[in-house]
């Protein structure tokens, strides 16, 4: 008996659930900062500072203060602020250099269990990201890392950022499925709670080092999600894949 009866599609939060954003951003930030005379700066702190601007930037879209704007654009705007905070003037850096660093979000590595687990899950389920990332970002990430999506659905498809209900409901509609035929797989309780409110099934996957060794959030399931696990491979076991 599968742990998610009736579910035809698994959709995945991506940043933190499928890929390790913190290490990937720090890797490229280290190169960039050294190239621009700030080799003394902490690249992990740089990654955290950049990510800290993520939710406030999307909130401007969610609240209607600005029209829908893809994440690549928001990341690029946020990068200017982070560079300024680190003593660098974005206006004095070549556009190609800034674009290279902004594309660090396209070059993130999957967690070790992600690809093996996804390959198994794909045998019985349709797989797609349900991410705030944009289509090009997610497609480039998948191409580089070998992430075996059946389709790449970026936030442009839903024209909404999680946790807005439209992000979940429009994704199900695009797939031609009822919300209850779709399960969100995520390492974030808030994301799962919003998906559940929209009628999706839920699977929590523990990622205790997404925010580093001293992480204090999402260290356990906050609700009785349909599945609670610590890896994609165990999720595949639970779903009979």
Query: How crowded is residue 197: how many other Cβ atoms within 10 Å of its Cβ?
Result: 11
Tell whether the torsion through CA atoms of 134, 212, 224 and 163 is positive or negative.
negative
Q: What is the pLDDT of residue 12?
A: 98
Q: Which two tokens stand for residue 222?
A: 């906050």
Averaged pLDDT score across all residues of the chain: 97
For the chain, domains (ranges, CATH) are 9-20+108-238 (3.40.50.1000), 21-106 (1.10.150.240)
The rounded Cα 177 to chain-centroid distance in angstroms is 22
The rounded Cα 119 to chain-centroid distance in angstroms is 19
- The predicted-structure confidence for 125-163, as pLDDT tens digits, reads as follows 999 999 999 999 999 999 999 999 999 999 999 999 999
Q: Nearest to residue 105, comparing CAs of 176, 178, 5, 20?
A: 20
Q: What is the pLDDT of residue 2?
A: 80
Q: Which two tokens stand for residue 170?
A: 């429009």
With a cut of 50, list the residues of the chain below it in pLDDT: none
The Cα–Cα gap between 150 and 198 comes to: 23
For residue 238, count CB atoms less than 10 angstroms from its CB and return exposed for 0-12, middle for 13-18, buried for 19 or more: middle
């Amino acid at each position: 008996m599968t742990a998610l009866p009736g579910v035809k599609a698994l959709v995945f939060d991506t940043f933190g659930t499928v890929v390790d954003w913190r290490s990937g951003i720090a890797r490229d930030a280290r190169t960039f900062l050294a190239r621009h005379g700030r080799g003394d700066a902490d690249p992990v702190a740089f990654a955290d500072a950049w990510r800290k601007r993520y939710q406030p930037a999307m909130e401007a879209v969610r609240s209607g203060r600005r029209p829908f704007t893809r994440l690549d654009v928001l990341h690029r705007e946020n990068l200017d602020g982070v560079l300024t905070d680190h003593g660098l003037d974005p206006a004095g850096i070549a556009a190609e250099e800034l674009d290279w660093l902004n594309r660090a979000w396209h070059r993130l590595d999957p967690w070790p269990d992600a690809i093996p687990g996804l390959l198994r899950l794909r045998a019985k389920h349709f797989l797609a990201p349900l991410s705030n990332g944009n289509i090009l970002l997610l497609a480039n990430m998948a191409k580089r890392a070998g992430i075996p999506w059946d389709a790449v659905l970026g936030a442009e498809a839903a024209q909404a950022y999680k946790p807005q209900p439209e992000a979940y409901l429009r994704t199900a509609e695009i797939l031609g499925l009822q919300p209850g035929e779709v399960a969100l797989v995520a390492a974030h309780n808030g994301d799962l709670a919003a998906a559940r409110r929209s009628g999706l099934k839920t699977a929590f996957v523990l990622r205790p080092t997404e925010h580093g060794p001293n992480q204090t959030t999402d260290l356990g399931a906050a609700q009785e999600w349909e599945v609670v696990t610590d890896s994609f491979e165990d999720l595949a076991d639970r779903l009979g894949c």
